[in-house]
Amino acid sequence: MASGKRVVRMSVCPKVLSPQFPQMRRSASFKSLIIYGLSGPTIALNIWILSQIFRYFEHIFTILTTAAILAFLLNYLVKFFQRARISHTQSVIFVLFLTLTLLVILGFTLVPVVLDQTVQLSGKIPGLLTTSQNNLLQWEQWAHRRHLPVDFRVISNQINANIQTQVQGLAGQAVGFAGTLLSGLLNLVLVVVLAFYMLIYGERVWQGLSHLLPSYISVPFTSSLRLNFHNFFLSQLLLGLFMVVTLTPTFLLLKVPFALLFALLIGSAELIPFIGASLGIAVVTFLVLLQNWWLAIQVALAAVLMQQVKDNLIAPKLMGDFIGLNPIWIFVSILIGFEVAGLLGTLISVPIAGTIKGTYDAIRHGNPTDIVSSRKLPLDSRP
């Protein structure tokens, strides 16, 4: 200090002086490249393995998944009765009684009508195809008179092949109808009974399974799974019920044959997100088109109108927007779900994808309690 001079110390960044830094950076890039390169084949292999496992245990998985979804939905009623200071077991028994009563009422009122219309429609399909073939021939003759290059022979030959296939298959369907109905009733009983036990003991079983995972994974995974499955299936069922309730009287006023069956077809297709209702409307319009083209136009307009009311007025208030999934990934998840598990995979693919996304976001942000659901209902919101 006596000299009054300052001593200036220079610090040199080790990245500049270390000759190994470029090699370390290249090594890290190479490792990342290997990880990303192997992730695609690994995911594809896992999906293929899951599809093979599902095909082997398809019946068991279908019953378990259907029962779990039913238990998810019935749990709302159980919680409602528990608020009235009724014990959990008594609430489950009361909900089971209400469910069985509703199924019996539907079994004696709605189901026979739907089955009768289904059988009638199956019997009329060969005649409808013949009528459509004659209409094509008339259109072709009309086009030839006006020297238009139109040829419907390929479509006509395809219709002939479909007629032969339908006529040959009707006899086999009639023979196996009783067995199919009996198997369906047995599966329904199994689903209801299993859902009853899931409502009582499911929480214990789930806690035992979730404890196998680390807490930072099990906590967000459990919360995200409940949010996505509850919100998704409840909202889709309500939207499908809206389509059935509004389209049934509309089709009856338009004197559409098999009005109840067609309305149920469109409402059931609503369970498939985004594309389900449009596919249902397209199928119904095509079936009506085989009978009457003007009536088919009226059916399509009425169904599209109800769909717009649902999408623009009811759906936003009921379930909000998709906040965790990009629409492209939603379509990808639907395609993967269909490839792995068919129709059942299509129905559960979106909530599973939302569960994975919500769990990943919670773990990445380091807050396991911050769960993002793919759908968010008003009843799940908190002030």
Q: Which amino acid is at 223?
A: S
Q: Which two three-digit tokens encode residue 4?
A: 């009054």
Residue among 345, 64, 57 nearest 195 (CA): 64
Lowest mean pLDDT across 125-139, 227-241, 267-281, 345-359:
125-139
If one compares 255 and 316, the residue with the highest pLDDT of the two is 255
If one compares 25 and 113, the residue with the highest pLDDT of the two is 113
Q: Which two three-digit tokens encode residue 29?
A: 């890039």
Mean pLDDT of the chain: 76
Where does residue 225 rank: exposed (0-12), middle (13-18), buried (19+ CB within 10 A)? buried
pLDDT tens figures, 3-19: 454 544 544 444 444 45
Q: From CA 119, how far away is CA 114, in angstroms rounded?
A: 9
Q: Which two three-digit tokens encode residue 157?
A: 């030959």
Contacts of 214 (CB under 8 A, 6+ apart): none
Helix (H, G, I), strand (E, B) or coil at 1: coil
Give the pLDDT mean for 243-261: 91
If one compares 365 and 281, the residue with the highest pLDDT of the two is 281
Quick one: pLDDT band at residue 313, thresholds 50, 70, 90? Answer: confident
Quick one: pLDDT band at residue 374, thresholds 50, 70, 90? Answer: very low
Lowest mean pLDDT across 39-53, 178-192, 330-344:
178-192
Lowest mean pLDDT across 55-59, 177-181, 188-192:
177-181
Sequence ranges of the domains in the chain: 56-212, 215-378
Instruction: Using the predicted structure, report yes or no on whether residue 28 has a pLDDT greater than 70.
Output: no
- Give the Cβ contact number of residue 115 at 10 Å: 13
Q: From CA 374, how far away is CA 219, in angstroms rounded?
A: 17
C-alpha distances in angstroms, 239 versus 69, 83, 263, 271, 379?
17, 27, 13, 8, 16
Lowest mean pLDDT across 41-45, 159-163, 298-302:
159-163
Q: From CA 191, how far away is CA 68, in angstroms rounded?
A: 9
